[in-house]
Chain A
Amino acid sequence: MTNRYVFLYASAMVIIVALILSGAATLLRPMQERNMRIEKMQNILSAINIPADRAEAEELFDRYITETKVVNHEGEEIEGDAFEVDLQDENRKPVEERQLPVFIADVDGENFYVVPLRGAGLWGPIWGYLGLESDLQTIAGANFDHASETPGLGAEIADSQFEEQFRGKRIFDEDGDFRPVTVVKGTAPPDDPHRVDGISGGTITSNGVTNMLRDGLEVYKSYFEKLKTT
C-alpha cells in the first residue's frame, strides 16, 4: 500500500465520519433542545416539590409558574427572559452586571420563589434550583444536577434522598442575617436548620454544593429583603 493510498484512505475516512456526525448532530438538534427545555422545566417544578414526568412538564410549568422575572444584584427588576438566562455566562460577569432569574410559582394560592444555582463540583460544573416558601427564608425544595461527578459518590447530590434533606432548612438565621445551608462532612445534627449531611466519598462535591448555595443565593439577598419589606 502506497503512501498515496494511505493518505487518501485517511482523508476519505475523516470526511465521511465528519459528514455522518455533523449530519446526525444537525438532524437531532431540535429534539435534543426540546428535551433540555423540558428537563429544565421539570427541575424548576421539582424545586417546589411538583413531580412532573416528561409528557406533562410543559403543561404543569405553564399552570404553576405564573411569573418569571430577571433582577439585578440590588434587587431591581430588569429586562430579560428568565427562562433563557444562562447562569454559566452570568457567573463570568461582575456581580453588578449579572442577570438573575426568578421563577414565581402559585401553588393553590401560595407563592413560591425558585432561583437557579450554578457552581463547581469535583470534575465539572454542578447546578440546581432552590425553591423558597413565601416567607423567603424557608427552603421548600431543592434540585441538583451535575455534568460529570463520580457515579455513586459525588453524583449522589442529584439523588432525591440528598435533595430532600434541604426541605424546611433556612437561609437566614433568627437575627435575619444571611446564613445559607452548609453540607457538612458526615452527619449533621437533625434539628440544625442550616446544615445537611454530606456524601461519604463525595466531600469535594459536597463542598461544591455549599459554595454554590452561598455564592448563588448571596446575589439574591437584596431582592429577598426588598420583597420581605413590601
Chain B
Amino acid sequence: MSENNNQTQPEALFSARNKKLLTNPLGKDNPINVQVLGICSVLAITVQLRTSLVMAISVVAVMGLANVIISILRKTIPPRIRIIVQLTVIASLVILVDQVLKAFVYDISRQLSVFVGLIITNCIIMGRLEAFALKNKVWPSFLDGIGNAAGYGWVLLTVGFFRELLGSGTLMGHQVIPDFMYEMGYENNGFMILPPMALITVGVIIWVQRHRDRSLVDVS
C-alpha cells in the first residue's frame, strides 16, 4: 500500500494534469489490474452483477469524500498517527453513510449491509489517502479518489458480469441464457460462483490489458 507512482506535487493548474488523475486509474494505473490492490473484495462480492454495482457506487462515494477530508486536514495531521487518522475518517464515513441509508432508503441499505464492512477494509481507499490525498490539494484529491474508485468499479463490474452470466445464466437477477440452450445440453458453470474464479477472471482482464498496452509489460 506504500507504492507511490504519482509524484505530483501540490499545484494550482487545472485540466490536462487533473484529467489524467481521473483517467489514469481507469487503465495504465488501475488499482486492481496494475497495482493489484483490493483483490479481497473482488473475490467476495462479484458473484452477482447487482452486488458489484452497489459496491462500486458505494466505493466511489466513500473514496471521493475520504480523499477530500484527508486533503483538507493534510497540514494538521501528525505524520506519526496518520494511518489511524485515515482509518478513523474512512470508518466514520462508512458508518454515517450506513446510518443514513438505514433511515431513508431502507431497502437499499438491506442490500448494502454486508458490504459496508468490506468498504472499510478496502486497501485502495487507504492507499490513495496515503499516496495522494496527504500531499495534494482538495480538488486534485477529489478527482484522484473518484478516478481510482471508478477504476476499481469497472473491473468489479466486468468480473461480476462474467461470473453471473457463466455461473448462474442470469444478469442483474434476470435469466439471459435462453431455455433452449439448456435443453440442448448447456449447463451453468458452477465453478464460476466460487471465489477462485474471480481471481482467474481478473487474471484474464490483466492479460488482455497488458496485451494491448505493451508499456505495462516492459517496465524495466
Contact = CB atoms under 8 A, between A and B. Distances in A.
B214 interface: no
A151 B78 contact: no
A150 B80 CA distance: 37
Contacts of A17: 88, 92
Given A21-B95, A151-B114, A32 B78 contact: no
A200 B194 CA distance: 10
Contact of A200 (B102, B104, B190): B190
Contact of B114 (A28, A38, A148): A148
B193 A6 contact: no
B77 to A, nearest CB: 7
Nearest to B80: A6
B92 A32 contact: no
Interface stretch (B27-35, B45-53, B127-135, B150-158): B45-53
Contact of B88 (A13, A25, A39, A201): A13
A73 to B, nearest CB: 32
Interface of A: 1, 5-6, 9-10, 13-14, 17, 20-21, 24-25, 28, 31-32, 35, 38-39, 54, 147-148, 150-153, 155, 200-201
Interface of B: 44-45, 47-48, 51, 76-81, 84-85, 88, 92, 95-96, 99-100, 102-104, 106-107, 110, 113-114, 164, 168, 190, 193-194
Nearest to B47: A152
Looking at A38, A39, A150, A151, the one whose CB has the most chain B CB atoms below 10 A away is A151
A35 B102 CA distance: 8
B48 A151 contact: yes
Given A32-B103, A151-B48, 7 more contacts: A9-B77, A20-B96, A21-B96, A28-B102, A39-B110, A150-B47, A152-B168
Contacts of A150: 44, 47
A151 B76 contact: no
Contacts of B106: 32, 35, 38-39, 54
Nearest to B49: A152
Contacts of A32: 99, 102-103, 106
Contacts of B107: 54
B78 A9 contact: yes
Given A9-B78, A31-B103, A151 B51 contact: yes
